[in-house]
Structure 1
Amino acid sequence: MSELPKAAPVAGLPLRPAGAGVFAGRVAIVTGSESGIGRETARTLCESGAAVVLNGRQPERLEHTRHTLAAAGHRVATCVADITDYADCERLVATAVSSFGRLDILVTNASISQRAYFADMQPEVFRRVLDSNVYGSVYPLMAALPHLVASRGSVTFISSISALNGMPSGSAYCAGKAAISNLAHTLRLELAETGMHFGVVHIGFTQNDPEKRVLDAAGQPVPIAHRPPRWQKSQAEVAAIIVRHIRKRKRRTVISFLGRIIVLIHNTLPKLGDWIVLTTIKRMRKFYE
Structure 2
Amino acid sequence: MSDTGPFAGKVALVTGSESGIGRETARVLGESGAVLILNGRNPVRLEQTRRELAAAGLHVVSCVADVTRYADCARLIDTAIGAFGRLDILVTNASISQRAYFADMQPEVFREVLDSNVYGSVYPLKAALPHLLRSRGSVTFISSISALNGMPSGSAYCAGKAAVANLAHTLRLELADTGLHFGVVHIGFTQNDADKRVLDAAGRPVPIAHRPPRWQKTQREVAGLIVDHIRRRRPRTVISALGHLIVLVHTWFPRLGDWIVLTTTRRLKHFYE
Using the size of structure 2 for normalisation, the TM-score is 0.99
Quote how far apart the aligned CAs of 1:226 are: 0.1
Quote how far apart the aligned CAs of 1:16 are: 3.5
SS in 1 for 2:141: strand
Alignment of 1:1-289 (within 5 A): 16-17=2-3, 20-289=4-273
Q: How many residues align?
A: 273
Q: Distance in 2 between matches of 1:194 and 1:123?
A: 39
Which amino acid in 2 is paired with 1:71? A
Which runs of at least 4 in structure 1 moved beyond 2 Å after TM superposition? none
Q: Distance in 2 between matches of 1:24 and 1:95?
A: 20
Which amino acid in 2 is paired with 1:275? W
Quote how far apart the aligned CAs of 1:59 are: 0.5
Q: Distance in 2 between matches of 1:179 and 1:257?
A: 23
Percent sequence identity over matched residues?
Answer: 78
Which amino acid in 1 is paired with 2:123? Y
Quote how far apart the aligned CAs of 1:87 are: 0.4
Q: Kindly report the root-mean-square deviation, in angstroms, between the aligned alpha carbons of the 2 structures.
A: 0.6
CA contact (8 A) 2:138 2:230 kept: yes
Q: Distance in 1 between matches of 2:185 and 2:204?
A: 28
Q: Deviations over 1:130-173 (max 9, x none)?
A: 00000000000000000000000100000000000000000000
Q: Distance in 1 between matches of 2:239 and 2:2?
A: 31
CA contact (8 A) 2:2 2:35 kept: no
SS in 2 for 1:267: helix
SS in 1 for 2:148: helix
Q: Which residue number in structure 2 is paired with residue 5 of structure 1?
A: none
Using the size of structure 1 for normalisation, the TM-score is 0.94
Quote how far apart the aligned CAs of 1:190 are: 0.7
Q: Which residue number in structure 2 is paired with residue 7 of structure 1?
A: none
Which amino acid in 1 is paired with 2:258? D
Quote how far apart the aligned CAs of 1:46 are: 0.2
Q: Which residue number in structure 2 is paired with residue 9 of structure 1?
A: none
Unaligned segments of structure 1, at least 5 residues: 1-14
SS in 2 for 1:158: strand
Quote how far apart the aligned CAs of 1:118 are: 0.2
Q: Distance in 2 between matches of 1:53 and 1:264?
A: 37
Which amino acid in 1 is paired with 2:235? R
Q: Distance in 1 between matches of 2:238 and 2:101?
A: 25
Q: Deviations over 1:169-209 (max 9, x none)?
A: 00000000000011011101111111000000000000000
Q: Which residue number in structure 2 is paired with residue 10 of structure 1?
A: none
